[in-house]
Amino acid sequence: MLSTRAQWAAGQPIGELMAQALQYPELVSLAAGFVDNATLPCAEVVACFEQLSADASRLRASLQYDTTAGSRSFREVLAQWAYHPWPQARPAVEQLIATAGSNQLLHLITEALIDPGDIVVAAAPTYFVFMGTLKGAGARVFGVSSDEDGMQIEALKETLEQLDGQGLAKRVKAIYLVPDYDNPAGSTLSMQRRQELLELVERWNREKGALVVLWDNAYQLLRYDGEELPPLSAIEPSCRRFVVELGTFSKSFAPGIRVGWGVVPSWLLAPVLEIKANIDFGSAHFNQVLMEIALRDGLVDAHLPAIVATYRSKRDTMLTALEESMGDLPGVQWRHPRGGLYVWLTLPNAVDAAESGLLWRIATKLGVLYVPGVYCFPTEGYPPQRNSIRLSFGVQSHEGIRRGVQMLSQAIRQTLTATV
């Protein structure tokens, strides 16, 4: 009775993780990807609404439908704001689409590009919710090895060459990256790799056919140290013909308002908008108007330092707690993210951190939840690492982070003892 797609979409980690959270509400969760309630911009939203309600005709207009691509005046302000550091990369407003979070745009692009059996190449590990979308469309996802500097472009090149050698060049539709402070690994694609990526994809598009780069910048503004690295369009504006750049206010402002966006290559614009027109003929206009006011009045920019300071100090708390409680454990390593919400932990090879493994049983018994890293690996290409864990420092208090890491340390020690 159900569609093939429903069967493909079944049993995604996001569903299992939510079920866990419900099953173990009393545990310290280092799993949830929610943002910190304390960072939510209450005063800013009140100020936006007050300004809106003072302008009767604008308020009225905000309650009406707008176009499928979104409010033009919002997108004009957004184009200015999002590319303020890189004016050479500022997109034409026609190429900018407002969506229900950047996640909806990932879905629309998938619909527009992917036939069953088509291939997307992603970092291993990568953002697991998007893998669910890809799986639901019948895509094959190939993982490419990555490190603290993000996807290894040499390995990407080898993967593409192998696929080409198997006669699959035309089936490779997209490369997916979270370039800054990624989910789940907290890594950032280095400047050198950005340039190498551009060259590689440029050449592929010239020689082999259309290959899109999905540049998912969800965490771009959550930067705690290090310099701000440019998006691909700021390095080479002409890459707009094969790059989709995605952004969202869900991390940098408020997920409850759920406004995201993307810059879409001209040739992909009509298909994406046609699909969106069938689904919702445009995301909530009211929310776009609120975000337009927030941008115009500098409320997003003014609020951001508080968000960054909160998460920076939570990240430091987590890194310190890891050092103190696991620094002595051989084979236990973690990355030091320069932004974002996640720390990626690797355990000795013998430890299976998946839900079926011993560590999970002990950890949940002791009182801590984490995301098994194995969820974040594509099913083909670079092999899934069952000894990995994604930790989030977004939601927990400092005390919760310390207690959670402490319990996890105990669980790892008990698992290692039982495993040896």
Segment 127-156, which members bind a copy of itself (CB under 8 A)?
A: 129, 132-133, 136-137
Q: Which is nearer to a copy of itself, 122 or 257 (CB)?
A: 257
Region of residue 209 (left: phi > 0; alpha: psi -120 to 50; beta: else): left
What CA–CA distance (Å, rounded) separates 384 from 109?
Answer: 26
Distance CA 45, CA 159 (A): 46
- Please identify, using beta-carbon distances, which residue of 136 and 184 lies nearer to a copy of itself: 136
The SS3 of residue 315 is: helix
Give residues with Cβ within 8 angstroms of 102, minimum separation 6: 216, 217, 218, 246, 247, 248, 250, 260, 261, 262
Q: What region, left, alpha or beta, does residue 172 occupy, with left being phi > 0 and alpha being psi -120 to 50 degrees?
A: beta
CB-wise, 101 or 150, nearer to a copy of itself? 101
From its phi and psi, is residue 138 left (phi > 0), alpha (psi between -120 and 50) or beta? left
Which one of residues 103, 187, 248, 252 is an interface residue with a copy of itself (CB under 8 A)? 103
Is position 85 an interface residue for a copy of itself (rule: CB under 8 A)? no
Minimum distance from residue 72 beta carbon to a copy of itself (Å) = 12
Assess contact for 311 and 222: CB atoms under 8 A.
yes
Using CB under 8 A, count the residues that bind a copy of itself. 77
Return all residues near 160 (Cβ < 8 A) that are at least 6 apart: 121, 169, 172, 200, 204
Say how far apart CA 188 and CA 338 lie, in whole Å.
8
**117 is a contact residue toward a copy of itself (CB under 8 A):** no
For a copy of itself, the closer of residues 7 and 419 by Cβ is 7
x/- binding map, residues 220-259, to a copy of itself, per CB under 8 A? ------------------------------x---xxxxx-
Question: Using the rule CB under 8 A, which residue among 56, 165, 207, 330 binds a copy of itself?
Answer: 56
Q: 56: left (phi > 0), else alpha (psi -120 to 50), else beta?
A: alpha
Per-residue binder mask for a copy of itself (CB under 8 A), 258-287, x = binder: x--------xx-xx-xxx-xxxxx-xxxxx
Task: Assess contact for 370 and 28: CB atoms under 8 A.
Answer: no
Nearer to a copy of itself by Cβ, of 81 and 128: the residue is: 128
Are the CB atoms for 71 and 292 separated by under 8 Å?
yes
Tally Cβ neighbours within 10 Å of residue 148.
14
Name residues contacting a copy of itself, limited to 166-195 (CB under 8 A). Answer: 173
Binding-site member from 78, 79, 89, 114 for a copy of itself (CB under 8 A): 114
Q: Is 3 among the residues that bind a copy of itself (CB under 8 A)?
A: yes
Which of 45, 93, 155, 374: binder of a copy of itself (CB under 8 A)? 45
CB of 179 to a copy of itself, least distance (A): 22
Region 61-80 residues binding a copy of itself, contact defined as CB under 8 A: 61-68
Q: Nearer Cβ to a copy of itself, position 108 or 177? A: 108
- Which whole-number Å values give the CA distances from 348 to 173, 245, 388, in the listed order? 35, 36, 9
4 touches a copy of itself (CB under 8 A): yes
| 119, 224, 251 from 126: Cα distances, Å | 15, 21, 18
Can you tell me which of 1, 166, 207, 227 binds a copy of itself, judged by CB under 8 A? 1
Measured from the CB of residue 414, what is the shortest distance to a copy of itself in angstroms?
33
CA distances from 313 to 8, 121, 211, 318, 339 (A): 40, 34, 39, 9, 11
State yes or no: residue 307 binds a copy of itself (CB under 8 A).
no
Binding of residue 20 to a copy of itself (CB under 8 A): no
Q: Does 59 bind a copy of itself (CB under 8 A)?
A: yes
- CB of residue 374 vs a copy of itself: minimum separation in angstroms? 19
Q: Which of 26, 60, 166, 330 binds a copy of itself (CB under 8 A)?
A: 60
